[in-house]
Structure formats: structure tokens, C-alpha cells
Structure 1
Amino acid sequence: MKSVALDQKFWKHFAKNIWEKQALALKNVKSGLLEMSAAEIFDLLVLYSDRCRKLNDPEGFKFYIDGFKAGPEDVLQVLPEKSDKSLLGYHQRMEAEFSDYCLVCDELLQVNLKKQHLLTDFTDELYRHVGFPNRFSEMGLYLGNYRQTPFGVHVDSCGVFSFPVVGTKNFRLWPAGYGEKHPALDRAFKYDKYKKDSVVIKAGPGDMVYWPSSAWHIAESDGSFSATWSLGVWVNQPHKEMFTDSLKDILSTKLGAKGDLPTTKFKSLHNKSGEVSELPQAYQDSLRTLQNLTSEELQEAFLKSWMKHISLQGFKTVPGVRLKLSYKSKIKLRSDRSLILWQQGVIKKNTYYFSFGGVLVESNSFPLLKLVQALNDRKAFVVGEFLKGKTAQADLKSLQTLADAGALSL
């Protein structure tokens, strides 16, 4: 069968006709996300599981038994181990204990930086055509012998792309608004009387399924083992919230301690007729603060907020990398796809740097700026080649902050 390429022609059609409008099922898709073997996925699972066991914290994992969510201590006991040798080996160990189980691992691809580009290759094209998510996207791996999604029929606030890796999955979908008209369907496991209004999409390894955020859905199987990637792109944060959040940041700074007062003093709440004719002094002062904001201050505040948002590359989290830098360290970007974002300040003429989700560095050092520009040119070099003179110590501290956020590798 001829493979389906996710090329520019596909994405243009997807953005115009499919995105947030209708479901889509494709066979034999050519995507890096489907090129990962079951063995590579198992290795990632063990790597992530080992980290959770070391920290005694199963964050990122969820485990369901017969539809019931297990507690954190129980989850640690059922994570994949190297001795399982494979996904199927893990399944055989779990199946011996549980007749119906589901293991979910969120953000698994981001455990291994060498595989992260497989995800960003996909999302970069998606974002380019439908827009950058105001909230985030998250990638999860679902595996087990569960016959139905453990939390029943539901609707998310995200559009979903599913890529089966092992086994066959059936996705039953209902149209937008169906659940609101039939509230008994919400979280249901028994829904025979509603099946006539649904469609079922079957998918196996090499296929891709998409459904919009408005679709009610549940995954079904015959109890055979399956493993499936699921990419959710959350679309429940409108632009007006992003805009007002940016404004709140600058107003919080400008108001200072007055903005933290828990009560508001007043002369009179209202007159005898109930008319409210005067704002309290705190409101009047805050209004003047708002009116006195310059266009330059607003532009800089919104730019910094936007940089902070996009520095996560559209994802919920990005793992840090532990590096201890010195002037002798030879460094490069952690990923050629993950630049250190920067902007020249409008007010103080300082430079602001962002890397991976709000890690802000502010500096007026020209050597640090040249170093960041060289990194973004995909060059590798010794730190001391750039950081010299009076600002060197402060620059090294700033660079360490960016390294702690995961911007660099040695």
C-alpha cells in the first residue's frame, strides 16, 4: 500500500478542512513518530520508570485496574523493568496479575532528547498551519489489555492524534454536542443504545487517527495487548486570556505592594438610593497606573509574555539537563531545534533571554549576547572564548541558569 506523506499539501488541506471540524483516519502514514520500534519505546519506558523509582515518585505515569485508578505507591510497583525485556514481556507480567489494565505515560518522548525531534517535526508543521496552541500539547503512550478507555466515554478540550504502535485500536466517536444532549453518556461504559449515532474508526500500526476537541469518544478493544501514542493539542485557552494574563504581569509589577492589599478602604459603599457613584481610592490609583502605561512598556510586557510561552515549544513540560559550567566547558545547543529565545529590551535596552518555559535571564552584556547568537548558529565552542572581562562572572551565572533550564549540552 502506498504511504501517505504528511507534506505541505496534506497540512494545508488538514488546516482548512479537518482541524477542529471532523475526524480523519489515514492508513500507512509516513511519519517519524511511527518509525520508532516497539523495542525503542520499551527502552524509553524503562528509562522513565527507573527515574521514577529512583525519585520514589511516579509522576507522569497513571495505572488503571478494571477502570479504577491506582494510587502512587501502587503505580511504582507495576512500572516496566529491564527484566521484562520487551513490551510484550511487560504485558505478560501484567496480564498474569490483572485481567484488565492500562498504563499511561505522559510526555514519554521527552525523556530521551535524541527522540524528541520526532515529536517536534510533527508539531512544528501542525502549528505552522493551524497556529501555536495558547495552552499546550502533550504526548502520551497508552498500553495494556483494557477493553475500554478506563475513564469511559468522554470529551476533552483537546484535538487528538492517535498512532497505534502495537495491536489494533477501535475508536468510537460521537459528534459535537452529543454528550450534552445525552448526559447519561458522560463517563459511561455501557452505551449500547447510543451506538447507532456513533462511528467506529479502526487503526493499526502505521495508521493515524485524528478527532477534534468537540468529539465524544472512547477506545475499545477485544482485550488483546496494544500500545498507542496519543498527542493531545489543548484548545481551551482563548487569546483574550493570554492577553489579559500578559497585562496582569505588568500591572502586578507597577502596583507593587498596593496590589497585594487584601481589603479595600472606602468612603461610602453607596448612597441612600443605592447608587454607587465613586470608586475607592485604590481603584482610582490603579486606574491612573493603567492610563500611564506607555506603548513601549506594553509592547515589552507582551513580547516577554509571548517569548515565555513559545519557549516551551508548545509542550507542557521540557526536562532539564544537569550541567555544571565553567569557562573551560565546551558547549552547544541541546537541540538544533531548540534555540535560546531573546529580545532587545525597549525600556532599559537590556537583553532578555528565555529557554524552555519561562526561565528568564536579563543582561546588558554584549559578550553574553554574542555567545547566545553563536549557539543559535549551531556552533560548539568553549565558554571562555566569549565570556571575558568584567562581566564574565555574571555572564557565566546567567549561562548556568539557561543550562539548568535545559538549553545546553556539552
Structure 2
Amino acid sequence: MPALEITHRFDWDTFVARYWNQRPVLFKGTGASPFTAEDTFEAAASATRHYLSRSYASNSRPEITFTVDRLRQLFAREWLPQAKDGSLDGYDARLAARLGEQRYALIVSSLHSFSHLLWSRERDFFSELWRRVGLPQSGGITTLFHGTYESSPVGVHMDRFTTFLFALRGRKRMRFWARRPWREDVSTILDYQPYLKSSFVAEVEPGDILYWPSTYYHVGENTGTGVASSVNVGIPISGHPPLFSVDDLLRGMLDETSLAEQQWKQTRLARVKASPLDRGAFENKGVLSARLPRALAEAVEAFHDVSAPQEAQRHIQATWMKRLSAGGFEPVPAPARTRRLRDSQRIRVDSRFPVLFERDGARQWLCAVNGHALRGIGGGKTVETLFQRLNTGRAVSVGELIQPFRARHTATHDADIIAATRDGMRSLLEKLHTFRSITLTP
């Protein structure tokens, strides 16, 4: 049985050399964690708002799972964290009054997508790891585990992710097996009592960071001391063939059905408006018409549009730039509301996470920041200079940045082009501000 190594100092060079994808390690009370209970609660409450706005359809994929005594609650509204709870402590108190001694588990996946503050601190923390081992092309996953559950609802299992556990509140025990302890042809088990002797455990408490490679079977356990909260970050290591990346690129062009309604209306595929019902399809005595139904014809036309070589190249280019600027954690938080920027306002960009920019095949600029991309930016060297000035990290006024550009621009029929004018560049800066790349300074 392997022994768990425990250390009180965290640094990335030592971690990569001794532990990365090799063996579990527990970092005790290092203060290195990027997560706080306050930020985590705000992200969880935001996830609740998003969850309640989604469909309850059986084929939907909600980011929140809630169980009571291992039974998943299909309608979980009353059990989820809400802003009025004020904190995780307030949330726990509300549930305790309702559930008494019943054990519960709250699991929130894609937690980073619901809070820019939490996401940005997480990206900052892991950027040092990516510099040493490389950026995960499919991105890491961030999951909140919270509750009084006796053991993980899914039981003993092995992930395709190498995992960091950041303990926030309470005490938790993680139990590990270096190899699968059972012989049955199943991927998980709930009753693992017969296999305890071959396991080893890690006891974690607030401030600890626990790491284990993807090759270890594991299960989380409650130590019996009340509510425990942790954030797990999984990084794909095995079982992720290159085909997944191709599928991901195609989905970005074609499968936009998971977008919110307002986002969907802004896509080019939204122009497929024909009814899916085809009158007269069964009236030709088995002889098919030479013409496709209108809905299929429009879909084929839209597919042809987005998959044309030049358009596909732009899409792939923008997708890669978004992924780089997302820092390994997608989906990223939604943009903020647009705010008018005045000439006198001074702005700056964090030089550690600059605006990525380059030319596309049409000799226009595209840029990406914080996991968002803008395409079709017109202009030449002056636009490049604007990006370079932003990326120095020094504060500069909006008026000074846009002054080199023309005051007006000849009318164009292409509404998707951001013109290289003062108004166009102000609009560009306002977009970067909604992406939270630009901050206002005194």
C-alpha cells in the first residue's frame, strides 16, 4: 500500500518534478489556494440562477446536482444556494432547518463559468503549471463538492482527469486505491467496505491542497464532523483522443443549439427558419421529389456557408485564440454589460494576460481575451499599435488611444466590420471592457 506524501510547502517546480502525473501528495496549509469560501458561494449562487433559467427537459445537462440520502432531486430549486443565503454558512443553516439529520450533496460543475473573479484567480494560479507542462487543449473542469454526504454519490471510480482538491470548509477524507480493487466488470461501486484494507486515505481541512493522478481509484468521504466544502479541478490527461479536438471545432461552427436564446439569435445558423414539417411528403406514391424540403435546403446552405475553406480557417483561428486566452478553463464567464467609455477615462490591461491579436485570411484583425474573440476588425498598422499600447499594462486615456484614427469612415455594406475610425475603436475598447480585459483606473 503506497504511503501518502505530506508537505507544507507548495511550489510548481517541485510539484512538476516529484508529483505531476506520478503520485498523490497533500500540501498542508500552504495558503496557495486560489479559491475562497466567499468567491465560491457567489459562483454557486450564480450557478443557481442559471440553472433555474434552463429547461427541465430530460435531455438537458444541468450544471447542478443535488441529492438527499443519495437520491437525486429532480426539482432542486428549494435546495440550492441563493444570494439571499448570504454565505455558505447561511446556506447550510437553511438546509439544516429543512433536512435535519438527512445527508445531502450539492455538486456544481463548470463552477468557474459562473464567476469572473473565481475564474480569473483560477486561471492565474494554473498559468504557472501550464508554463511547465503545456496548456490542456480541451480545458480543465472545476467542480464544487459541498454537503454532509457519507461518501461520494458516484462511489469509487477512476477519472480521466488528474485532479487538484482545494479544501474550503470542514474536514473531508479522500480514499485511494493504486489499482482497481474489485474484479467485477463495472466502472464504479458504492459498497467498497470489503476493499478498505488495500486503500490509503488523505485527511484534508481548510487551506489544504490535495493532488492525485488520473490513474488512482478514489472516493470522497465525510469525516462525520459536519458540512464539508471543496473545489476540485480536473485536468484531462488520458482518454482524450485528438478526434475530440476536431469534434470541438465542428461543434463551434455547427452545433449552436446549446446557446441561450439571445446568443442563438446572433448566429448565422439562426437564419434557418423554415418549418421542419414538410407538406406533401407522403403524397407521391413512394416517388421522392428531386428537391429537398426547404428546411433541409436552408440547413445545407448554412452548412456550406460556415464550412467554406476561408470561413473555416477564420473560425479555427479564432477558436484557438479564445482557448489560449481562456487559460485552460472553458466555458468562460459571460461578458458584462456594455458601458460607454468617455475620452477622459483612463484604462489599462493586465500585461500578464494581454490581448491576443493577429491578421486573418481576409487581412482583417481578430483579437481574443479572457476566452472571448472579436473578428472583422478593419485597419492596418494603427490598429496594431493600439493593441501594443494596451498590452504594456500602462494606463492610458481612451481619447489618446483613438486619436490617431479617422473621425469618419466611408459607409460600408458589411455591418460585421469594426471600422478603423474613432467610433469603431471606441466600440472595440468597449467590447474589451465587457470581456473584463480593460479596467478603469483613477
TM-score (norm 2): 0.68
Q: Which residue of 2 aligns with 1:169?
A: 172
* DSSP-derived class of the 1:132 partner: coil
Separation (CA, whole Å) in 2 of partners of 1:28 and 1:314: 25
- The percent identity for this pair of structures is 25
User: Which residue identity lines up with residue 357 of structure 2 in the other structure?
Assistant: W
Q: Cα gap change, 1:54/1:101 in structure 2, threshold over 3 Å: closer, same or farther?
A: closer
Cα offset for 1:243? Answer: 7.4
User: Once structures 1 and 2 are overlaid, which stretch shifts more, 353-362 or 123-132?
Assistant: 353-362
Matches within 5 A, 1:187-336: 187-223=188-224, 224-236=226-238, 240-241=242-243, 306-319=320-333, 320-325=335-340, 328=343, 330=345, 332=347
Separation (CA, whole Å) in 2 of partners of 1:167 and 1:299: 49
Separation (CA, whole Å) in 2 of partners of 1:305 and 1:45: 27
Matched, 1:357 2:371: yes
- Paired residue for 1:121, among 101, 121, 124? 124
Q: Which residue of 2 aligns with 1:4?
A: 8
Asked if 1 retains the 8 angstrom alpha-carbon contact of 2:364 and 2:377, the reply is yes
Q: Which residue of 2 aligns with 1:265?
A: none
Asked if 2 retains the 8 angstrom alpha-carbon contact of 1:361 and 1:398, the reply is no
Aligned residues: 355
- Paired residue for 2:147, among 140, 144, 147? 144
Cα offset for 1:179? Answer: 6.5
Asked if 2 retains the 8 angstrom alpha-carbon contact of 1:65 and 1:102, the reply is yes
- Paired residue for 1:68, among 71, 79, 99? 71
Matched, 1:408 2:438: yes
Asked if 1 retains the 8 angstrom alpha-carbon contact of 2:318 and 2:373, the reply is no
Asked if 2 retains the 8 angstrom alpha-carbon contact of 1:5 and 1:31, the reply is no
Cα offset for 1:220? Answer: 0.9
Separation (CA, whole Å) in 1 of partners of 2:67 and 2:108: 12
Q: Cα gap change, 1:145/1:396 in structure 2, threshold over 3 Å: closer, same or farther?
A: same
TM-score (norm 1): 0.72
- Paired residue for 2:135, among 120, 129, 132? 132
Matched, 1:378 2:381: no
Matches within 5 A, 1:24-39: 24-33=25-34, 36=36, 38-39=37-38
Cα offset for 1:245? Answer: 6.6
For structure 1, the residue ranges without an aligned partner over 5 or more in a row are: 253-292
Asked if 2 retains the 8 angstrom alpha-carbon contact of 1:164 and 1:204, the reply is yes
1:186-236 CA-to-partner distances (Å, cap 9, x unmatched) read 332211222222222111122221111222211011442111121111234
User: Which residue identity lines up with residue 306 of structure 1 in the other structure?
Assistant: W
User: Once structures 1 and 2 are overlaid, which stretch shifts more, 322-331 or 89-98?
Assistant: 322-331
1:283-318 CA-to-partner distances (Å, cap 9, x unmatched) read xxxxxxxxxx9xxx9999976553232121100222
Asked if 2 retains the 8 angstrom alpha-carbon contact of 1:157 and 1:236, the reply is yes
1:358-395 CA-to-partner distances (Å, cap 9, x unmatched) read 52423342433322222222234443433331321444
Q: Cα gap change, 1:331/1:246 in structure 2, threshold over 3 Å: closer, same or farther?
A: farther
Matched, 1:343 2:373: no
For structure 2, the residue ranges without an aligned partner over 5 or more in a row are: 1-5, 57-61, 255-308, 410-419
Q: Cα gap change, 1:183/1:192 in structure 2, threshold over 3 Å: closer, same or farther?
A: farther
Q: Which residue of 2 aligns with 1:368?
A: 383
Asked if 1 retains the 8 angstrom alpha-carbon contact of 2:349 and 2:390, the reply is no
Cα offset for 1:28? Answer: 2.1
Cα offset for 1:339? Answer: 2.1
Matches within 5 A, 1:89-104: 89-98=90-99, 99-104=102-107
Separation (CA, whole Å) in 2 of partners of 1:70 and 1:83: 21
Give me the CA root mean square deviation.
Answer: 3.8
User: Which residue identity lines up with residue 183 of structure 1 in the other structure?
Assistant: D
* DSSP-derived class of the 1:311 partner: helix
Q: Which residue of 2 aligns with 1:183?
A: 185
Separation (CA, whole Å) in 1 of partners of 2:388 and 2:437: 13
Q: Cα gap change, 1:214/1:400 in structure 2, threshold over 3 Å: closer, same or farther?
A: same
